[in-house]
Amino acid sequence: MMSKQRKIILTITVFYTILILYFLFFAFGRSDAAERASDYTFIFLPENFLKLPSISDLLPPTLMDLVAFGNTLAFIPFGILVPLLYRITFVRFITLFFLAILLMETIQALSFLGSFDINDALQNTVGAAIGFGAYKLGARSKNGWRKVVTTAISCLVLFLGVWGLGGLADKALTKEEGPFVAIKELIDSSGNASAGNQTTEMIISDQNVKPRYNMYDAEGKKWKPSRLRLGTNSSSP
């Protein structure tokens, strides 16, 4: 016979699942968007799914920032509630959870109520993994209230850790753009490239290419090429 505590946990799990399904399929004007949609959207290539909005992005937060956080935070409770209901290993839990999320993403795309985005699925799974880890850490405490407090603190610490790792990974993988220089700063009064300001070469199809600038002067109502013509080192036409 099911215990009273288990009934309460099961009830919370069911209602929370219904709430999440509502946000997945009906919130944010999805029904109206489905009526206007005509193409399926499937995104299979993951992109730095651990990256969350930075603190500066949250001043003030936008709807997209909240959605990005929600993709992870909203699924943390599943990592706590499911192990409370069933004895399950981490690998089995994450595998089943990820497959369930993939199914939800597929239904979203096929019903035009959203898109299939592997990044969302991975973020959801990371949230569930955080919850499971926090549950395991909290379960070490014997006192009931201490379990709750330890689990809550563990959720916060693990989430901040994931947030920080995502930020570090994004910083390491993102290439910074070089400085922008106006064309007029690259040439002298005679129309030739200024000394020390030669254009940067680039590699295209294993060939070193130097950009060529075509500049035009307006005289009356006609346009004609100016004297500046920076050539290319590429052998291609």
Q: pLDDT tens digit string along 10-55?
A: 999 999 999 999 988 887 777 676 667 677 888 888 887 777 888 7
Q: Within this chain, do residues 68 and 90 fall inside the same structural domain, yes or no?
A: yes
Last residue of a domain, one of 173, 195, 211: 173
Q: Within this chain, do residues 120 and 199 fall inside the same structural domain, yes or no?
A: no
Inter-axis angle of helices 118-138 and 63-73, to 10 degrees?
50
Residue 237 domain-assigned (yes or no):
no
pLDDT at 169 > cutoff 50: yes
Total domain count for the chain? 2
| Mean of pLDDT values over 136-163 | 90
Q: Within this chain, do residues 192 and 163 fall inside the same structural domain, yes or no?
A: no
Q: Within this chain, do residues 15 and 75 fall inside the same structural domain, yes or no?
A: yes
pLDDT band at 102 (very low <50, low <70, confident <90, very high): very high
pLDDT at 234: 44
Residue 22 CA, chain-centre distance (Å), reads: 22
Q: What kind and span of H or E run contains 126? A: helix 118-138
pLDDT at 60: 81
Q: Within this chain, do residues 64 and 108 fall inside the same structural domain, yes or no?
A: yes
Residue 178 domain-assigned (yes or no):
no
Q: What are phi and psi of 42, to 5 degrees?
A: -125, 125
Q: Within this chain, do residues 46 and 132 fall inside the same structural domain, yes or no?
A: yes
Who's near 206: CB < 8 A, 6+ residues apart?
none
If you search the block for the tokens 């369930």, which residue do you land on?
100
Residue, of 139 and 178, whose pLDDT is higher:
139
Structure tokens at 188: 């002298």
User: Whole domain around residue 49: which residue ranges?
Assistant: 4-173
CA angle at residue 62 from 125 to 108, to 5 degrees? 45
Q: Considering only 19-23, 54-58, 142-146, 162-166, which range has the smallest mean pLDDT?
A: 54-58
If you average pLDDT over every residue of the chain, what do you get? 79
Residue 231 domain-assigned (yes or no):
no
Q: Considering only 100-104, 117-121, 129-133, 207-211, which range has the smallest mean pLDDT?
A: 207-211
Separation between Cα atoms, residue 211 and residue 50, nearest integer Å:
37
Q: Given CA atoms 19, 20, 21, 26 in this order, what sign does their dihedral have?
A: positive
- The pLDDT tens digits of the residues spanning 200-222 come to 666 666 777 666 655 555 555 54
The identity of residue 128, as a single letter, is: A
Residue 171 CA, chain-centre distance (Å), reads: 14
Q: Within this chain, do residues 104 and 148 fall inside the same structural domain, yes or no?
A: yes
Last residue of a domain, one of 155, 173, 191: 173
pTM metric for this prediction: 0.70
Q: Within this chain, do residues 63 and 42 fall inside the same structural domain, yes or no?
A: yes
Q: Within this chain, do residues 199 and 125 fall inside the same structural domain, yes or no?
A: no
Structure tokens at 157: 């610490």
Q: Within this chain, do residues 13 and 80 fall inside the same structural domain, yes or no?
A: yes
Q: Within this chain, do residues 188 and 166 fall inside the same structural domain, yes or no?
A: no
Q: Within this chain, do residues 11 and 118 fall inside the same structural domain, yes or no?
A: yes
